[in-house]
Structure 1
C-alpha cells in the first residue's frame, strides 16, 4: 500500500495537468472583456470577481479545470471512499484492541493511541459529505454552516493526527534514549496533558474556519463551491493566509522534525545496545516511511502553493495539493494496522520499553 500511494499521487497530478491544459486552450478566448483579475484567498485563489450577485465568484482557467476536471469529480472522492471503507472499521476496532491487549501499566500508550484513533475517525467521518460534494460536480448543497463545520473538522484533524504521531514518537524516544528519565516521569499524567494540548491546538486551528464564509456561488459553472474558492481581498479572509501558514508550521513542520529526530535517535541507540533489535527497527522504519510519504507531499505543496500564489499569482498547485491531502486520509486508515504491527513486534521477544518495561541490557548501555 505504501509503495502504491506515491505512484497514485504522480498519476493524479498528470491527470490534473492534462485537464488544465485542455481547459486553458478552451477558455482563453471566452474571458469577458474589461474584467480585472483579482487574487482570492484559499486553495484556488486567483479569480475574476463579479458584482452581479452577492457571494458569487467567477473562476479563472485553473479553477475551472479543477472544478470540472476528473481529478476533483472522480479521483479524489474515490480515494476518500477507499479511505473510509478501510479506516472507519479498523479505527473502531483499534479502540477495543487497545483496551484489551495493552496492560494497565501502559496506560500512557493507550491514551495516545486512543487519541490518534479518535482523531482519525473524526477525519474520516468528515469525508462523507465531501464525497457527495465532489461527485456532485463540486456543488455544495448542504448549506454554509455544514460547509464550515466539515472544512474545520477535515483540516483540524489532519494536523491533530500529525501532532499525536509526533507525541508517540517523542515518547518512544524518551523510553529508548533516556530510559532513566522515562522511568521517573508521571507518564499517564503527561499523556493526558499532551492530548489536551493537542486538542487545544485543534480548537485553535478550526475556529477561523468556523468564523468566515466558506461557500461561494460560481455562476459561470452553475455550482456552489465549499472552501475551494475564497476571495482574498475580503477583510474576513485576508488574515487567514498568515494564520494557515502558521498552522502548517505547527501542525506539520514541527511534528515532522520531531518524528525525524526521534526515529534516527531510536534506531541509533537500539543499534548500539548489543541486543538484536532488527525486527523492531524494520517495523519502526516502515511506520516512519509511511508517515513521510503521506504527510510530506501535502506540507510541501501547501507552502509552495502560497509562495507561487503571492509571487506570481499562479494557483495551479492547488489541485496537486488536494491530491496530496488524500494521502493524509490514507494514513488515517493505515494507523490502526501500524499500531497493531508495532505492538505485536514489541510484545514479542523484543520486550519494547513502552509496553513491558526497560530491558536491562538496554538500560545499562544507555
Structure 2
C-alpha cells in the first residue's frame, strides 16, 4: 500500500470528530427502526409473502451493518487510530462488504418484484412464490459471503508514524480499497448487475404507470411509485457515490503522477463515500413505512397515532393487487 495513502487514511482531527458524530446519529436512528422491522416482518401472525421475505433479509443486512458502526466511532474518536486489533479489523471489513452488497441485492430483488407485480401481474403469479424468494435470498448470502471471504485471510492492520510523531494503527479494510485490476473488474460486475436491473425495472414500471389513469390506480400502483422514489434516493445517496469513487480510486491509485493533493482528496473521498453507505440503513425504514402496512400500523401505534381503516384516495383493490401487497 502506497505510504502516501496510508498517511492520509488517518484523517484530520476535525474530520474524525465529524465522522464520529455522523455514525452515532445514524446508529441512533437506524437500530430501533430496523429492530422494529425485524420484529414486524418475523411476527408469526403476519402472513409470509414474497415482498416480506426480501424486506426481512434487507432488515437483517441493515441491522448487521449498523451494529458495526460503534467500531468506526471508536476508531474516529481515537483520532484515526485502530485500537481494536487485527481480528476486529478483518471482521469489520468483511461484514461491511457482506452487508453492503447483500443490502444492494435485496433492494434490487424488491424492485424487480415490484416490476413483476405492476407490469406482469397475472403472468408473474406463478413465479412470485415465498419459497422462490427464500431460495434467492439464500443464494445471495452464500455468493456474497464466498466473494468477501478473502478479506478474512490477509493481514489488514498496518502501523504508521505520522509527521506529528504520533504512531497509529491503520485498519486498511475501513477506507483503503484494493487497487488491482481484479478489484476493478469485481467491482464493475458486482455493481453493474443491480444497476441494470434497477434501471430497467424503474423504466418499465414508470411506463406502465403512465398508462394507468388516476381513477383506476390500485394500491400496488401507488406503492410502486413510492418504491421508485425511495429506492432511487437510496441508490443515489448510499450506493452510487461509493462505487463511482471506488472506480476513480482504483484507476488513479496506480498512476505514478498522483500528487499529494490528489492522494489527500482520494483518501477523504474514501471516508466520505464509505460513510454515506450507512445512510441506506436509515432510508430503508422509510421504505418499510410507506410500503409495508404492518410496519406502518405498528409504528403509528407506538407513536400514539390513530390508524386509518380507509383506503387511500383513488385506490381500488382487486385480487391481483392484494396478492402483490406488502
TM-score by length of 1: 0.72
**Equivalent residue, structure 1, for 2:204:** 265
**1:214 and 2:180 are equivalent in the alignment:** no
**1:152 and 2:94 are equivalent in the alignment:** yes
**1:293 and 2:242 are equivalent in the alignment:** no
SS of the equivalent of 1:142 reads coil
Shift of 1:209: 0.7
Which of 23, 28, 31 matches 1:80? 23
Which of 178, 184, 187 matches 2:126? 184
**Equivalent residue, structure 2, for 1:276:** 217
Q: Does the 8 A contact of 1:77 with 1:135 survive in 2?
A: yes
**Equivalent residue, structure 2, for 1:14:** none
**Equivalent residue, structure 1, for 2:7:** 64
**Equivalent residue, structure 2, for 1:226:** 171
CA distance in structure 1 between the aligned counterparts of 2:317 and 2:257, rounded to whole angstroms:
55
Q: What 5-or-longer segments of structure 2 have no aligned partner? A: 297-310
**Equivalent residue, structure 1, for 2:114:** 172
Which of 128, 135, 140 matches 1:193? 135
CA distance in structure 2 between the aligned counterparts of 1:81 and 1:231, rounded to whole angstroms:
22
Please identify, of 309-318 and 194-203, the stretch whose mean Cα deviation from structure 2 is larger.
309-318
Aligned length: 294
Q: Relative to structure 1, is the Cα distance of residues 180 and 355 closer, same or farther in structure 2, using a 3 angstrom cutoff? A: closer
CA distance in structure 1 between the aligned counterparts of 2:69 and 2:175, rounded to whole angstroms:
20
Q: Relative to structure 1, is the Cα distance of residues 357 and 230 closer, same or farther in structure 2, using a 3 angstrom cutoff? A: closer
**1:356 and 2:322 are equivalent in the alignment:** yes
Question: C-alpha deviations, 1:192-217, integer Å up to 9, x for none?
Answer: 11101110122123211100110010
SS of the equivalent of 1:67 reads coil
Q: What 5-or-longer segments of structure 1 have no aligned partner? A: 1-39, 41-45, 48-59, 360-366
Q: Does the 8 A contact of 2:176 with 2:267 survive in 1?
A: no
SS of the equivalent of 1:138 reads coil
Q: Relative to structure 1, is the Cα distance of residues 230 and 176 closer, same or farther in structure 2, using a 3 angstrom cutoff? A: closer
Shift of 1:231: 10
Q: State how 1:1-366 maps to structure 2 within 5 Å.
A: 40=1, 46-47=2-3, 60=4, 63-70=6-13, 72-99=15-42, 103-104=46-47, 106-185=48-127, 187-220=129-162, 221-227=166-172, 241-274=180-213, 275-276=216-217, 279-280=222-223, 282-287=225-230, 288-312=232-256, 314=258, 315=263, 316-344=265-293, 348=312, 349=315, 351=317, 356-357=322-323
Q: Relative to structure 1, is the Cα distance of residues 273 and 76 closer, same or farther in structure 2, using a 3 angstrom cutoff? A: same
CA distance in structure 2 between the aligned counterparts of 1:272 and 1:284, rounded to whole angstroms:
18
Shift of 1:291: 2.2
SS of the equivalent of 1:175 reads helix
- The root-mean-square deviation of aligned C-alpha atoms, in Å, is 2.9
Q: Relative to structure 1, is the Cα distance of residues 209 and 228 closer, same or farther in structure 2, using a 3 angstrom cutoff? A: closer
SS of the equivalent of 1:357 reads helix
